[in-house]
Amino acid sequence: MSEFSARWLPLLQTLPAPLAALLMQGLQRSDVMFPREKRELESTLESLRPPRSPEMERAVAAFKNLSIPTGMSASAWQTEPAAWVEKFTAAMWSTGQIEAYRDAAKLTLPRQMSSTLDAAPRAVVIVFEKRLMREAPSATLFRRLQPAGTLFTAVRGEKSRESLAEWFQQRARRSQERYAHWYISGNSLPILAPTENLASLSYAELQPARQRLLQMMNAARNTMGTGGPEGLRHAMQTLTPDEMGLASATDPVLRAFATDILVGGSGTQLYSTTFVQWTAREILRRAQPRTLVAEFTARNQSASMDLRLAQPTKEPPLDFEGSLVDAEMGAYLTYLNLLRLPCSERSHFVAWHEGYGQAIWIGGSASRGTQSVEPIQLSALLKQIA
C-alpha cells in the first residue's frame, strides 16, 4: 500500500463500506493518476474528514442507508476494492437500490476545482479527416452543434494541418503543467516537436496492444469455463501495461491511461472512432487539459465480434461513410464533456472537416446558430482562440 493510501485508510475505515470501497479504488490508482484527478480525490477525502459539511453528512448517510447483501464481507473492500464495487453494484441493480446508490455517489462528486490552469480558456479542436465523406459531394455537417455556434462553410487552406500543429505547439509552450495539452488520433500522430507537457495517444501506435488484448479476451473466453462476462471483466481489470505490451512507453501515468482506455473502453479495441471519442472523454474528465486536439479517422467496417476475437490481427476494410456519422456524434459528445469542466463558459470548441471545408466554432465571440459563407483560413479561425 502506498504512503498516500496508508494516510487515508483510517478515515476510510470509519465510512460506510460502499463509500470506502469507491474511495479505496481511487487510492489504489493514485500513483498513476493525472495531477488534476489526484487533487480532486484528495479534496473529496478532505471533505469527508469530520467535522463534515451538512452536504457531506448527507452523502455519508445516503451510503449508510444502502443495505449490503448477505454474504458480502463489509471489510473486503480494503484488499480488493474493484471486485467489491463490482459485486456490490450488481447487488444494487438486483435489489432495486441502484438509483439510491447513484444518488449517494453524486453527493460525493468533487466540487469543480478551478486552478491557475483554468485562467486561460480551454480549447478543444476536433478534426475530421478528409476521407470521412458521404457519397454526395456536399454535406450538412455538425447538425447537433450548430445551435451553439457559428458554422463556417468555406474553410480554405492547403496548409491547414500545419497551421493546426503550429497552433497546438504554441499553446503547449505557453503553460508548463503536465498533461495539459493533448493530441490524439484515430490513425497516426502528426510530427510534433517533443515537449514535456505535451501528451499524445494514437490508435495506430496502440495496434500491438489492441490486438494482444483481443487475443487475451479470446483465450479467456475459451478457457475460463464458468467465469462468464464478470470473470472476463475481472481478468481484464487486473491486466498490467506490461502484459498489454505497453512496456516501451516510458511514462507510467500514460501507460496506465492507455491500458485503461483499451481495457475499460467498450469498442476502443475495435473501432478507431470509438477510440477517439472515448479517449477524448476520459482525457477531459480525468486530466482536464487546457488543449485537446482529437482527430477522427476512418474506422474498420463492422465484423463479427467472434471473428475479431478469434483473428485479432485481421482488420476489416475501412468504412468512410459510417465513420463520418460516428465522428459527428463523437464531436457532439466531446462538446458535452467539455461543458462539464470548470469555467466551461470561457472554453472554445472547434470541429473542422478538412474534406468538406466546413468548421463550427463555439465560444468566444462566435454567435450562436449562425452561419458564415465567407472564405476563411483555418489558421485565422484558430488565431481567434489562441
Partner 1 sequence: MSEHSFWSEVAAKQGRTRRDFLRGVCGSAVGAGVSNMLTSRAWALGADRRKVVVVTFGGGARDQETFAPEGQENIPRMLGELLPQGTFFTQVVNRGILGHYVATASLATGVYERFNNFANVAPANPTIFEYFRKAQTRPGADAWVVAPSNGFNRIGQSSNALYAGMGATVVLPKRMLARPDGLPAFQGLDHLLTDNYESPIQAPVALDQELSAERIESMLKLSVQDFAAHARTLSSPDELSFYVAQRVMQETAPSLLWITLHDVDVAHTGAFSLYIDAIRRSDRICADLWKMIQSDPEYKDRTNLVILPDFGRDSDQDAGGNGFQHHRTGDALSRTTWMLALGPDIKQNTVVDRAIESIDLTPTLGSMLGCDTASARGRVIPELRR
Q: Which of residues 216-235 bind partner 1 (CB under 8 A)?
A: 217, 220-222, 224, 227-232
Q: Which stretch binds partner 1 (CB under 8 A): 29-37, 170-178, 253-261, 266-274?
A: 266-274
| Residues contacting 316, CB < 8 A, separation 6+ | 300, 301, 302, 303
**Residues 305 to 334: which contact partner 1 by CB under 8 A?**
305-307, 309-310, 319, 321-326, 328-330, 332-333
157 contributes a contact to partner 1 by CB under 8 A? no
**For partner 1, what does the binding mask look like between residues 85 and 124, x meaning CB under 8 A?**
-----x--xxxx-xx--x----------------------
State the nearest-atom distance from the C-beta of 327 to partner 1, in Å. 9
- Report, in Å, the least distance between residue 325 CB and partner 1: 4
Q: Judge contact between 160 and 270, C-beta under 8 A.
A: no
Q: In DSSP terms, which residues pair with 318 in a beta bridge?
A: 300
Residue 24 host element (H or E):
helix 17-28
DSSP letters along 298-340, please?
Answer: PEEPP--HHHHHHSTT-PPPEEHHHHHHHHHHHHHHHHHHHHT
C-beta atoms surrounding 270 within 10 Å = 21
Contacts of 280 (CB under 8 A, 6+ apart): 124, 126, 184, 292, 294, 330, 334, 337
Tell me how many residues contact partner 1 (CB under 8 A).
60
Please identify, among the stretches 71-79, 123-131, 151-159, 304-312, the one whose residues bind partner 1 according to the rule CB under 8 A: 304-312
Phi/psi of residue 202, nearest 5 degrees: -135, 150
CB-wise, 163 or 344, nearer to partner 1? 344
Residues facing 359 on adjacent strands: 152, 352
- Asked if 40 is part of the footprint of partner 1 (rule: CB under 8 A), the reply reads no
Pairing of strands 150-152, 358-362: antiparallel
Question: Out of 189, 339, 379, 380, which residue is the one contacting partner 1 (CB under 8 A)?
Answer: 339
Q: Which of 122, 171, 181, 299 binds partner 1 (CB under 8 A)?
A: 299
Sites for partner 1 among residues 267-296 (CB under 8 A): 267-268, 270-271, 273-274, 277-278, 281
What pairs with residue 291 in β-bridges? 123, 181
Q: What is the DSSP letter of 148?
A: G
CA distance 263 to 209: 10
Interface contacts to partner 1, rule CB under 8 A = 90, 93-96, 98-99, 102, 147-148, 217, 220-222, 224, 227-232, 265-268, 270-271, 273-274, 277-278, 281, 299, 302-307, 309-310, 319, 321-326, 328-330, 332-333, 336, 339-340, 344-345, 362, 368
